[in-house]
C-alpha cells in the first residue's frame, strides 16, 4: 500500500502508476469538463463513469462516503437557491411562489446540472487525490514546464493544508472540552466561536511557516538556477495517447458548446 494525499492506495493500482503529469491532467480534466458541460445527462453519465474508475483504480468507494455530509449541504444550498430564488422561463410552470419567483421544468434541469457539476468535481477530485502524492505534483508540474518554485509552492500548500486541518481539529476539540457548542446560537454567536478558533490557528500557522522557511533555507532550496531531479519519469505511448485525449476532450467540448446546440442545456431549446 502507498500513502497518497487521501491515505492509502494499492501499489499496483493502474491510476497510481500513471505518469505524474497525467494525474495532474486528470485532476484538471474533471474540474474543467464539469464547468464546460451544460448537459445534465452528460454530467451524470460522467459521474457514473468516474465511480466505475474507482473500481478500476482499486480505490474503495468508502472514500466518497467521507464527503457525503458536505455533498448533501451543497446540494441543498443549490436546490434552495434555484427553487426559491430564481425565475427561469420554461415549458411547464410547476409552482408560483408568494414572493414572485416560480419553478419551471428548466429550473429543475438547472438544479440537476449544477448538482451534477459539483458532484463531478467532487468525485473526480477525490479519485485523483486518492492516487496523487506530493512527488507527483512537483514532477508532474515541472514536466509540464511549470517553474520549480511554483511546483514546490503548490506541493507545500497541499502539505500545509493537512497540517492546518490537524491543528483545526485539535483546537476545536479543546474548545468543545471547555463547553463550546459549535451548533448552538445564532449566526453571529457561531461566527464568534469560529473567530476564537482562528486565533491559535493563525499563530501556529505563522510559527510553522517561519520554521519551514528556515528548513527550506538550510536545505539549500533555490528557486532559480540549476537543479537536479533525482527521480526519472518517462511517458509510455499509451500515456501519451491518454494525455492527448484528456487535453482534446475539453477543447472539443468547448468547440461543440460554441458551435453545436446539442451540447447546450436542453431547456434552452425550448426558450
End-to-end CA distance of the chain: 53
Q: Could you tell me which of 21, 40, 46, 16 has the C-alpha nearest to residue 250?
A: 46
188 binds another protein (CB under 8 A): no
Distance CA(28)–CA(271), nearest Å, equals: 32
Give the nearer residue to another protein in terms of CB position, either 196 or 271: 196
203 binds another protein (CB under 8 A): yes
Give the nearer residue to another protein in terms of CB position, either 176 or 245: 176
144 binds another protein (CB under 8 A): no
- Which of 76, 87, 91, 135 touches another protein (CB under 8 A)? 135
Question: Cell triple for residue 208?
Answer: 510553522
Q: Any idea which residue has 446546440 for its cell?
A: 261
Per the document, the length of the chain is 271
Select from 22-30, 32-40, 99-107, 127-135 the region that touches another protein (CB under 8 A).
127-135
Least Å from the CB of residue 73 to another protein: 20
Distance CA(71)–CA(183), nearest Å, equals: 19
Select from 13-21, 26-34, 71-79, 155-163 the region that touches another protein (CB under 8 A).
155-163
39 secondary structure, DSSP code: -
SS3 104: strand
Q: Could you tell me which of 135, 132, 126 has the C-alpha nearest to residue 16?
A: 132
What are the distances in angstroms from CA 222 to CA 114, 217, 227, 263? 43, 8, 8, 47
199 binds another protein (CB under 8 A): yes
Least Å from the CB of residue 220 to another protein: 4
Q: Interface mask (CB under 8 A) for another protein, residues 62-101, using x and -?
A: ----x-----------------------------------
SS3 129: helix
- Which of 150, 173, 245, 248 touches another protein (CB under 8 A)? 173
* Site size toward another protein, by CB under 8 A: 53
Question: Which residues form the interface with another protein (CB under 8 A)?
Answer: 2-3, 7-8, 66, 133-135, 138, 155-156, 159, 163, 167, 170-171, 173-181, 196-197, 199-200, 203-204, 207-208, 211-222, 225-232
Amino acid at each position: 500500500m502507498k500513502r497518497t494525499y487521501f491515505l492509502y492506495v494499492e501499489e499496483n493500482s493502474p491510476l497510481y502508476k500513471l505518469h505524474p503529469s497525467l494525474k495532474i491532467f486528470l485532476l484538471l480534466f474533471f474540474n474543467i469538463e464539469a464547468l464546460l458541460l451544460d448537459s445534465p445527462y452528460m454530467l451524470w453519465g460522467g459521474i457514473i463513469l468516474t465511480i466505475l474508475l474507482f473500481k478500476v483504480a482499486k480505490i474503495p468507494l468508502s472514500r466518497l462516503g467521507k464527503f457525503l455530509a458536505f455533498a448533501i449541504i451543497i446540494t441543498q444550498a443549490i436546490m434552495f437557491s434555484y427553487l426559491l430564488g430564481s425565475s427561469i422561463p420554461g415549458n411547464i410552470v410547476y409552482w408560483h411562489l408568494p414572493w414572485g419567483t416560480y419553478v419551471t421544468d428548466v429550473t429543475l434541469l438547472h438544479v440537476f446540472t449544477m448538482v451534477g457539476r459539483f458532484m463531478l468535481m467532487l468525485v473526480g477530485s477525490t479519485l485523483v487525490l486518492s492516487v496523487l502524492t506530493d512527488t507527483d505534483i512537483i514532477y508532474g508540474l515541472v514536466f509540464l514546464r511549470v517553474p520549480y518554485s511554483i511546483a514546490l509552492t503548490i506541493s507545500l500548500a497541499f502539505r500545509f493544508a493537512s497540517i492546518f486541518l490537524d491543528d483545526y481539529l485539535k483546537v476545536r476539540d479543546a474548545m468543545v472540552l471547555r463547553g463550546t457548542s459549535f451548533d448552538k446560537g445564532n449566526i453571529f454567536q457561531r461566527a464568534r466561536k469560529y473567530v476564537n478558533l482562528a486565533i491559535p490557528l493563525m499563530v501556529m500557522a505563522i510559527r510553522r511557516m517561519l520554521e519551514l522557511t528556515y528548513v527550506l533555507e538550510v536545505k539549500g532550496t533555490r528557486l532559480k538556477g540549476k537543479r537536479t531531479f533525482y527521480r526519472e519519469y518517462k511517458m509510455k505511448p499509451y500515456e501519451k495517447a491518454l494525455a492527448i485525449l484528456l487535453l482534446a476532450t475539453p477543447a472539443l467540448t468547448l468547440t461543440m458548446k460554441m458551435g453545436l446546440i446539442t451540447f447546450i442545456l436542453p431547456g434552452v431549446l425550448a426558450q
